[in-house]
A and B are shown apart, each in its own frame.
Chain A
Amino acid sequence: MIISIWRYSHLLLAISSSLFIVIASITGSILAFEPISNQLQPFAIHNLDEISITEMVTALQSEYEEIIDVSVTNDDFVIASVITQEGNSETFYIHPSSGKKVGNLIEKEGIYKFATNLHRSLFLKSTGRFIVGFVSFLLLLIIITGTILIAKRQGGFKRFFSKVVKEDAKQYYHIQLGKLCWIPLVIITLTGVYLSLEKFSLLPNYKVTHQAVEASETAKKHIETANFSIFQNTMLAEIKTIEFPFSEAPEDYFLLELKNKELVIHQYTGEILSVYEYPIVALASYWSLLLHTGQGSIIWAIVLLLTSFSILYFMYSGFAMTLKRTKKQHIPKNIYKKSTAKFIILVGSETGNTYRFASMFFDALIANGQKAFITQLNTFETYENAEHLIIMTATYGEGEAPSNAKNFLSLLKKTSFDQKIKYSVVGFGSLMYPDYCKYAIDIDQSLQGHKNFEATIPIYKINNQSFTAFENWANAWADYTKIPISIKKPTANINLKKLREFKVIKRSRLNIDDTFTIHLQPVKKQKFQSGDLLSIYPEKDLIERQYSIGKIGNEIILSVKKHEFGICSSYLSQLSENDIVKAKIKRNPEFHFPKYANDIIMIANGTGIAPFLGMINENTDARNLYLFWGTRTKASTAIYKEILDESIASDRLTNLHISYSQETTQKEYVQDAIATQQNFIAQVLQNDGVILICGSVAMQNQVLHILETIIKSKLCMSLSDFENNEQILMDCY
C-alpha cells in the first residue's frame, strides 16, 4: 500500500533517528531539572536592575583585598572572584549590595555532568557532537513533515489548531500533543541545531577586537572608581561580566561585558577607551543557549521538561500506531483471479481503517461462496467477469483522495468494459470535517455518468467508523442483490476478568414494541455519567454490545429493544431483580451533558432516549431542556411515562415533543418535527445552545440533513462548524 510521501518521510526520519532522539529526550528531561533546582537556590538577586556597578564595587572594595572579576549568571546569581583580606583567592556567590558572600558555587552534580555529556556528544566527543547536531536537524524535519501531515489531515494550515477528530486514542493524543507542544518543539530543535552549527564553526565568525587601547591623556584627572559615570549608570541587570584591571599599570583596564557589547574602560579616568558591539550571531548564540537550556526561567525549564517527555510519547505512540497500521493493512489474500471474479471490491484507505471494513465484507462474500476480488483503487483496470463493483473509500484532508486511490478517476476514464457492471459506493469519514466523504461522492458522480456502470443502492456514508452503519449498508446491499451475506463482527479483544459486576435493580415488562428498560447498579462504586456506554459481552459469543447509559441517582438505566434472535437483548430481557450482569463502562466524553449551555435540544428515536432520561435528571440548575422523541405508537411510551411525567412536573424538562410513526392519525417522524422548528433550532444554535442526537443511524442522517439545511439557510454556516464547536453531539448506532 502506498502511503503519502509526507507520512513516509515522517516515519522514516523517526525510525532512523529514534535511538538518538530517545537518548536526547531522556537526558534532556534530566537536564531540565538543573536550571529548576538552581533557580530554587536562595542566591538569585531579584533587584539587579536597581543596583549599579558603583554600588557593588564600593561594597566589594571595602570587603576584600582585591577583586579579580564579577559575573552575573543567567539565573541572576552574582559570582565574585576575589582575594580575601587573609590573602586567599576565592570565588563565591555574593550579594552585590553588601558584597558579602552568600554561598559557595553550586557544583554541577555528577548526574548533570553525565547527562550533559550524553546529550551533547554521546560520550563520542566530536563524532558524537556531529551525530547529535545531525539528529537535531532530522528532528526539525520530523516536525516539518508532522506539521504538514496535521495540516493535510485538518484540511489546510488555517485549520491547524482546530479540533481533532478522535478516532484512535494514540493517534488523537499524538496529534493533540503535537499541536500543543509545537512551539516549544520548534524552539528546542532550532536552538539545538543552531548550537551545533556554532560548535562546528559553521556560522559566520566574529572576533572581539578592540582598538589599540591607549590611555588618551595621562594628564587627565584620576577619579575614584566609584565615580565613573559608566559604573554609576550601568545596572547589574545589564552586565555579564566585569573584569578588574590586572595590575596598577595605567595600560591595564576594566573590561566590562554587557549583554550586547563589551567596553574597555580606563582604570583611573573611567574613560571608555573602546567599544565592541556583539554581532547578531553572538546574540543569537546567547538566546539559543538560554532557550535550549532553560537557564534563568523556571517556567521555561518546566516547559522544556514537559516537551522532552512529549517527545518520548511521540516516539511511543508513533511506533505503536505504525505497528497497528501495518497489522490493519493486512489485506486479505485473493483466492480468485481478478479476471474470474464476479465481485470486485476497490478500497481507498489512508490509515488502513477502511481496509478493515472492506476485509469484513470480502470475507462475508467468500464465506457465501462468491467469487470476490479485493484490491486498492489505484490498481483499477478491466475486470472481464465482474458483475458488481463495490467501492469503499475514505477521504483525506480537504476532500482529497487517499494516497492509494489518487489515480482512480483518471484510470476510470481510460478503462473500458464489455459488460455492464453494477456498483455501490461506501464513503468513510467524519462529520467533523467540512468535506465529509467528499471523495466517495466524487467517485459516485463519475460512475453515474459512465456508460458501463449501473447504480444499485445509493451512496452510503459512514461517520466515525460506525460498525452498525456499516452493517446497515451491508444489509441493504444484500437485500438488493439477494445475496444473503452476514458481516462477522470482530470478537472483542477483552479480558473478561476485568469486567465489573452490576446488580439488576428492576426491569420493566416488555413494551408493546418489544422494548424494555432495565435499571442496574454497580456493585463496586464506579464513576460514570449519562451518555457513557455500557459494554456487555454475552458469554455465548463474546461479541461486544454497547448501550448508552442514562444515570439516575447511582443507577444505570438502559433502554433495550429485544430482537427475536438477538443474543444480548434476549439475555437482558430475561434478567430479574438482584441478578448480576458483568459489563464494562466506557467513558464517552463526546456525549456528556453540556456543562455550560443554557438551551439544550435532545433528539432521540426509540431506545435512544435512555441517556436523555439521565440528563434530564441531572438538570438541577433550571436550564432549558427540549426533548424531541420519535417512537412508534402511543402505547410505546408506557414504560417511560412515569419518568417523563415526573420530569415535566418538576420542571427539569422544559418541553417534550413525541412523534409517532405508526399511529394511524398524524404520522410523524422525529425529523419531521425538527423540520417544523427551523427558527427555534437556529436560535438555539446561535445562542451557543447544544443539540444532542441519540438513536439510529438512519434517524441521525435524516436529522443531520435537516439541520444542515437550517444552518445553511438561517445562519449561513455549515454543520461542521457547529460540530467542531461541540454544539452538535451525537451517539448513534
Chain B
Amino acid sequence: MKNTKFILASIFSILFIGMLTSFTAVENSKYKCMIQMKNYTGEGAYVVISLINNQGEYQQTLYVQGNDDEWYSDITEWWKFHGKRRPDIDAITGETISGGERKISIIEIPNDKIDAGYKIRFETAVEDQEYYTDDVEFELTSQSVKSKVEGKGFIRYIRMIPQK
C-alpha cells in the first residue's frame, strides 16, 4: 500500500516537473523598456513591472525599480502576489527612479504571452505619496511591444521595443 502511494507520488512529481520544464522551455524575448517619469517632487518612485493574465491576475514579476525591500509591502496589490512566495528577484531589480528621470531596462517576456490576452502592468508608488496600481497597463500584442504608452500617475510615458 505504502509502495503504491510512493510510486503514485513519484509519477505525479515527474509529471509535474515535466510540465514545469515544458513551461520554461517556452522561448523568451527581450525588450528594451524605457520609463520616463513626470516632474514630481519627493522620493524616488518604486516601479514594478508585472505580467497579468486575462483574468487580471498576476502571473510574473518582470522588473522592479527600487531595491529596498522595506518598502515592497507598500506596493499593496503586487505585494499580495509577490509577498506570498517572495521569489528571488535580485537579477531583475534596479534603483528607484526620481521625478523627471528616465530609466532604460531590459525585460524578458515569454513569447507565448504576446497576442494571448496577457497584459503588462507598471505599478508605481512614492513614499508618502500616491500609489498607482495601473500607472501604465496595456495588452501585450506584437504591435504594442514596440509602442509608446502614456502613464496616469508618476510615469509620463513608457516606450518598448523588442531587442534584436
Q: Which residues of A contact B (CB under 8 A)?
A: 66, 68-69, 81, 83, 87, 89, 113, 117, 123, 125-126, 199, 201, 205, 207-209, 243, 246-247, 255
Q: Which of B34, B41, B101, B127 contacts A126 (CB 8 A)?
A: B127
The 4 closest A-B pairs by CB, nearest first: A89-B106, A207-B39, A208-B100, A246-B34
Question: Residue B130 at the A interface, CB < 8 A?
Answer: no
Question: Residue B13 at the A interface, CB < 8 A?
Answer: no
Known A-B contacts A68-B104, A125-B127; the reply to A246 vs B41 at CB < 8 A is: no
Question: Residue B70 at the A interface, CB < 8 A?
Answer: yes
**A209 & B39 in contact (Cβ 8 Å cutoff):** yes
Question: Residue B18 at the A interface, CB < 8 A?
Answer: no
A687 to B127 alpha-carbon distance, docked (Å):
67
**B161 & A247 in contact (Cβ 8 Å cutoff):** yes
Residues from chain A with a CB closer than 8 A to the CB of B104 are 68-69, 81, 243, 246
Residues from chain B with a CB closer than 8 A to the CB of A66 are 163
A87 to B34 alpha-carbon distance, docked (Å):
18
A201 to B99 alpha-carbon distance, docked (Å):
12
In angstroms, how far is the closest chain A Cβ from the Cβ of B36?
10
Residues from chain A with a CB closer than 8 A to the CB of B70 are 117, 123, 125
Residues from chain B with a CB closer than 8 A to the CB of A201 are 41-42
A209 to B34 alpha-carbon distance, docked (Å):
18
Residues from chain B with a CB closer than 8 A to the CB of A246 are 32, 34, 104, 159, 161
Q: Which residue of B lies closest to A108 (CB)?
A: B67
Q: Which residue of B lies closest to A117 (CB)?
A: B70
**B163 & A87 in contact (Cβ 8 Å cutoff):** yes
Q: Which residue of B lies closest to A276 (CB)?
A: B100
- 17 CB-based A-B contacts, threshold 8 Å: A68-B105, A69-B104, A81-B104, A87-B30, A113-B68, A117-B70, A125-B71, A126-B128, A207-B39, A207-B99, A207-B100, A208-B39, A209-B100, A246-B34, A246-B104, A246-B159, A247-B32
Q: Which of B30, B43, B99, B100 contacts A199 (CB 8 A)?
A: B43
Residues from chain B with a CB closer than 8 A to the CB of A199 are 43
Number of A-B contacts (CB under 8 A): 48
A255 to B103 alpha-carbon distance, docked (Å):
11
Question: Residue B102 at the A interface, CB < 8 A?
Answer: yes
In angstroms, how far is the closest chain A Cβ from the Cβ of B96?
13
In angstroms, how far is the closest chain B Cβ from the Cβ of A68?
5
A177 to B19 alpha-carbon distance, docked (Å):
68
A255 to B99 alpha-carbon distance, docked (Å):
16
**B41 & A205 in contact (Cβ 8 Å cutoff):** yes
**B163 & A83 in contact (Cβ 8 Å cutoff):** yes
Q: Which residue of A lies closest to B70 (CB)?
A: A117
Which parts of B28-67 form the interface with A (CB within 8 Å)?
Answer: 30, 32, 34, 39, 41-43
In angstroms, how far is the closest chain B Cβ from the Cβ of A604?
70
A113 to B104 alpha-carbon distance, docked (Å):
25
In angstroms, how far is the closest chain B Cβ from the Cβ of A206?
9
In angstroms, how far is the closest chain A Cβ from the Cβ of B99?
8
In angstroms, how far is the closest chain B Cβ from the Cβ of A308?
23
A68 to B99 alpha-carbon distance, docked (Å):
20
Residues from chain B with a CB closer than 8 A to the CB of A247 are 32, 159, 161
Given contacts A89-B106, A209-B39, 18 further A-B contacts (CB under 8 A): A68-B32, A68-B104, A83-B106, A83-B163, A87-B30, A87-B163, A89-B105, A123-B70, A125-B127, A126-B128, A201-B41, A205-B41, A208-B39, A208-B100, A243-B102, A243-B104, A246-B159, A247-B161
**B106 & A68 in contact (Cβ 8 Å cutoff):** yes
Mark each residue of chain B from 124 to 139: 1 if its CB lies under 8 Å from any CB of chain A, else 0. 0001100000000000
Q: Which residue of B lies closest to A126 (CB)?
A: B128
Which parts of B65-93 form the interface with A (CB within 8 Å)?
Answer: 68, 70-71
A66 to B43 alpha-carbon distance, docked (Å):
31
Residues from chain A with a CB closer than 8 A to the CB of B41 are 201, 205
A69 to B34 alpha-carbon distance, docked (Å):
12
A87 to B29 alpha-carbon distance, docked (Å):
10
In angstroms, how far is the closest chain A Cβ from the Cβ of B69?
9
A727 to B84 alpha-carbon distance, docked (Å):
75
A126 to B106 alpha-carbon distance, docked (Å):
31
Mark each residue of chain B from 150 to 164: 1 if its CB lies under 8 Å from any CB of chain A, else 0. 000000000101010
In angstroms, how far is the closest chain B Cβ from the Cβ of A539?
64
A327 to B43 alpha-carbon distance, docked (Å):
49
In angstroms, how far is the closest chain A Cβ from the Cβ of B14?
31
A207 to B39 alpha-carbon distance, docked (Å):
6
In angstroms, how far is the closest chain A Cβ from the Cβ of B98?
9
Q: Which residue of B lies closest to A65 (CB)?
A: B164
**B30 & A89 in contact (Cβ 8 Å cutoff):** yes
A72 to B11 alpha-carbon distance, docked (Å):
54
Residues from chain A with a CB closer than 8 A to the CB of B106 are 68, 83, 89
Q: Which residue of B lies closest to A107 (CB)?
A: B90
Q: Which residue of A lies closest to B104 (CB)?
A: A68
Residues from chain A with a CB closer than 8 A to the CB of B30 are 83, 87, 89
Residues from chain A with a CB closer than 8 A to the CB of B68 are 113, 117
A69 to B101 alpha-carbon distance, docked (Å):
14
Q: Which residue of B lies closest to A116 (CB)?
A: B68
A344 to B30 alpha-carbon distance, docked (Å):
93
